[in-house]
A and B are shown apart, each in its own frame.
Chain A
Amino acid sequence: MNNYWNNVDKITLDNGLTILLKEIHTAPLISQWVWYRVGSRNEQAGKTGISHFLEHLQFKGTPKYPHQFLDHAISRDGGIWNAMTYLDWTTYFETMPADKIDLSLELEVDRMVNNQFKPEEIESERTVILSEREGNENEPTFRLSEAVQKAAFPGHPYQHEVIGESEDIRTISRDDLIQHYRENYHPGNAVLALAGDFNVAEMQSKLKQLYENVTAGAYQPQAIHRDEPPEKETRIVVEGPGETTFLDISYRAPCAIEEDFFTLTVLDSILSGPSSLNMFGGGSISNKTSRLYQQLVEKDLAVSISGGVTATIDPYLFGISATIHPAHTPEESIRVIDEQIRRLQEEKVKMEEIQRAVKQARALFSYGSENITNQAFWMGYANMFADYDWFINYIQQLEQVSAEELQRVAQIYLQPSRRVVGIYQPTSAGRQ
């Protein structure tokens, strides 16, 4: 992985914009991603969801490229575009046929500074976002995850779902949005990543020309106070419609740049199966040989099990989720999960299990590499919580994980005192 991934050109313009470029000539496509270091982590109480709200408004057009123009132009050229807001970042991307990339290069620099914030468009989008939230609320697992997140971070902005509280979505004002835009959308707070069928020298010169006159932003994001891990276990129960019980156990995890993050990634793979960094295609690998699948699903205590650790700036969560078997209780699954965690804390994992976790990670990267959009995504993504070296060294870091390290990490991070246990309890009687 290293040789292949090292081949990335990085430049920083005078205004602070970081540009990452990688030539890939396997398909006549180019994918561009523009990342801003702002997400729900940077939001104040009462303004939750403002980063996501702003992301929606970035699709409303500018004087140069009015509403509908871009949608139509990108579709017409056979491209795709979209955006995502997350805990630490907001990102916009376009993947286009290589000979059609110029429009998307121009639109990103344009909407970095020229959003119009038309009042009628803000109001129309407000109801769209409320509708998006209502769609999420239809899902029991969203309700459970929202409650667990809230309980897990009493003193940190990670307590809020990225979409924000309904009440805040209703009351965020145009001025709030403009201020959030001016403070966070500028070259010094952005990373532009491009991968695909272009020539690096030509692309660098084109991007310099486009961005060199954009003023560097002065705003420095407020330091976020990292709260301490919890000192005792919290248990919550969410009641709602349905007949199925869901379990979500979330432990306070290390942040992405700590070495323990990679150890926990291998531990997750052993415990609940491999997770993927692929955002677009690449498929997945099943988790049927993982320890928790074997002990929960194969013993008929749960019907499915999954887990995962998230790469973030501040320590976030390592989560284990289970759909409980209708004939059993969540407490039985919790007992088994605790037993398996104790086993990790007391016994050394065999090398074969570690090697399998690494091979699975390597295979998932290989599958994801078929897709130009994934490749450009990975380049910018790592810069949001670390730097590109984090990504280049990812597999190597996993390879270096030892049985001793796994045991130590299990002993530190998987203590009951560091977790929130959430249960979704259905209010219907269930099938007899």
Chain B
Amino acid sequence: MNTMKNNLPSLPGPENIKRFELENGSVLLCLNNPNSSSFYMVGLLKAASKYEDKTRIGLADFTASMLTRGTEHRDFNQIHELLESAGASLNFSASNQNTWFSGRALAEDLPMLINLSADCLLHPTFPSAYLERMRAQILTSLDIRDQDTGEMASLTADKLLFPDHPYGEPLDGYPHTIQAITRSDMIDFHQSYYFPHEMILVFAGGVEAEQVLEQVNRSFSGWNSAQKKLLPVDVPITSTKEAVRKHIEIPGKSQMDVLIGCQGPARPADDFLAIHLGNDILGQFGMMGRIGEEVRVKAGLAYYASSSLNSWMDSGVWEVSAGVNPKNTEKAIELILEELQKFCSQPVTDEELQDSKSHLVGRLALSLESNAGLANAIMGMEHFKFSLDYYHRYAGFINAITADDIVQASRKYLDKDKMIIVSAGSQASKGNT
């Protein structure tokens, strides 16, 4: 609608991303956004919760959260004085596949943030006083988790979807495993799994790639993967064997959280995009898709009722969730199961297909407007080993999907004989809705 578009950034792609393979085996990617006076950084390492011992569940995330509690060069206060006086942020956390770090700062503070990130990753000291303080904070958050109907439904569903597998365990652990973790567990985990081989670092914002490269080389110099332990072989994922219905009673709650789910496709899987598009139709498009239309709009049973797809390197989860008055729990479950059954029995309509294709392609501009959106998109391409022109080809991938692709792929995952149904809340609660 306006002709002044010469300063609009284009999609991230090989023409505007600079990619460097560093000597220590890590990869650095940078996108300069001349419109921004700040930058966003995201990185990942191989250290992951899947390498935790069963008696130490929560160790990966506990370790990550301790990185900013003290290093060989700076104590807790010095680290946070540097960050907060610059208006910057730096966070570390673990997932089942990786340890992630992210931060942002004004462009003028680029050297500080890279230098501090390297210091935290390479030289943490895990001071005992902070370890105990952090342990108390985690234990309190676990107490709060126990009272959170949504969190407890999700945690229970994960355990049922991935029985006897690290993916079924919570990243923040259990009280008894958090209590058991020692400083030496943490030092050992750090020495074994924190190494630069296959580390990915992405920067987007008002910073030049060459400046980033120079600073990364300087700050991370001397870090190599010589000390790394041979990574354990991943535990194979088995599919769920049967449908399960489980209730978690949490007294005194007004609302019941309901979660119905199954294992989903891995992000690199051939049928991922068909399920991604199908999920949009099922529980995202417009007012939360078909699920929202039936459960919220028509039946008025819930404030939220939608579906979500969370996929990673070798698996994923496809879930429908809703928050309902306890007396409407069974009715909501019945409605959702009916919709899932319908979704697998007949192809989506042509109108639904075109609408959701247009939605997924059209929303790219919005999701890529910020430095964080750009950096995370670039991270996704590198992490999942897609080529850097992925976003240029994305519309083509989406537009090639047929209604038949969606129904076939959905039948593979949405198997009613293996569906997990979890509710969490208070069955005794007498709502008046």
Contact = CB atoms under 8 A, between A and B. Distances in A.
Interface of A: 23, 25-30, 59, 67-68, 71-72, 74-80, 95, 97-101, 123-135, 137-138, 140, 166, 170, 197-199, 202, 240-244, 273-274, 281, 283-289, 297-298, 300, 303-304, 323, 325-327, 356, 359-364, 366-367, 370-372, 427, 430-431
A24 to B, nearest CB: 9
Interface string B143-173: 1101111000000000000000000000000
Given A29-B369, A288-B76, A325 B136 contact: yes
B238 interface: no
Nearest to B322: A131
Contact of B433 (A127, A242, A244, A359): A127
Contact of A372 (B143, B300, B303, B369): B369
Contact of A97 (B175, B293, B303, B365): B365
Nearest to B364: A78
A128 B300 contact: yes
Given A131-B302, A131-B325, A285 B365 contact: no
B33 to A, nearest CB: 8
Contacts of B431: 130, 134
A399 to B, nearest CB: 14
A360 B106 CA distance: 10
Interface of B: 1-2, 4-5, 7-9, 35-38, 76-77, 80-81, 83-89, 104-106, 133, 136-137, 139-141, 143-144, 146-149, 175, 250-255, 285-287, 293, 296-304, 323-325, 355-356, 358-359, 361-366, 368-372, 425, 431-433
Closest 9 CB pairs of A and B: A78-B362, A363-B87, A71-B286, A124-B300, A241-B252, A132-B303, A134-B254, A134-B255, A127-B300
Nearest to A363: B87
A304 B137 CA distance: 8
B300 A370 contact: no
13 contacts: A28-B5, A78-B359, A78-B363, A78-B365, A80-B366, A127-B325, A130-B431, A134-B325, A170-B432, A199-B4, A274-B87, A366-B36, A371-B369
Nearest to B149: A138
B300 A123 contact: yes
A325 B366 contact: no
Contact of B362 (A77, A289, A370): A77
A243 B105 contact: no
Contacts of B432: 130, 166, 170
Nearest to A280: B370
A191 B38 CA distance: 31
Interface-centre pick from B76, B144, B304, B370 (highest chain A CB count, 10 A):
B370
A274 B83 CA distance: 13
A202 B1 CA distance: 9
Given A75-B359, A362-B87, 19 more contacts: A26-B369, A27-B365, A28-B8, A28-B365, A29-B365, A72-B355, A97-B365, A98-B2, A128-B301, A134-B254, A134-B255, A138-B255, A197-B1, A285-B83, A286-B89, A288-B76, A366-B36, A370-B369, A370-B371
B143 A244 contact: yes
A326 B140 contact: yes
A75 B355 contact: yes
A197 B89 contact: no
B175 A26 contact: no
Interface-centre pick from A68, A71, A128, A241 (highest chain B CB count, 10 A):
A128
Interface-centre pick from B86, B87, B363, B368 (highest chain A CB count, 10 A):
B87
A284 B87 CA distance: 9
A241 B303 CA distance: 23
Contacts of B285: 72, 75
B368 to A, nearest CB: 8
Nearest to A293: B80
A74 B286 CA distance: 7
A288 B88 contact: no
A289 B80 contact: yes
A243 B104 CA distance: 35
Contacts of A273: 84
Nearest to A299: B133
A283 B104 contact: yes
Given A27-B8, A288-B84, A97 B255 contact: no
Nearest to B303: A132
Given A98-B2, A123-B300, A244-B144, A27 B286 contact: no
Contact of A131 (B88, B133, B323): B323
A213 B1 CA distance: 25
Contacts of B35: 26, 370
B111 to A, nearest CB: 16
Given A131-B324, A134-B254, A78 B366 contact: yes
Contacts of B36: 366, 370
Contacts of B175: 431
A272 B264 CA distance: 42
A202 B425 CA distance: 54
Given A71-B287, A370-B369, A372-B369, A289 B77 contact: yes
